[in-house]
Amino acid sequence: MLSFSRSQCTSELSRVLEYLPASDFKSLQLLLILLSFLPKIILLGLAKLLEWSPRLPGLFGSPLRLIRIGLRGLIFSLYYGHRPVLDVIDYRVSVYTEDLGKKS
């Protein structure tokens, strides 16, 4: 399996962000800017906290769950939407059309 950085899937970022509403784009941009200033050890701790967020209650857990969903969506869309990754996992998408011309 290709690592996220080795897959070079960030080259697909503009394709993924093209469909993001403007308000979501600004929120994501702010979050990524803030995260870029954090040391690696803090980022690792935050990643663990985000993974625990489904078990955290109310006012504290809710914003963490939103951040978790947003970041996971971006990462998964970039990674699994990248052709080289799909080739490595031997994933082929096809549409069965042989029965379209048949009448029942």
Given CA atoms 80, 84, 88, 90 in this order, what sign does their dihedral have?
Answer: positive
Q: Using alpha carbons, select from 24, 14, 21, 7 the residue that is nearest to residue 89.
A: 7
Q: What is the pLDDT of residue 104?
A: 59
How much is the pTM?
0.74
Separation CA 50–CA 44 (nearest Å): 10
Low-confidence ranges of the chain (pLDDT < 70): 103-104
In sequence order, which residues have a C-beta less than 8 Å from that of residue 39 and are 6 or more positions away? none
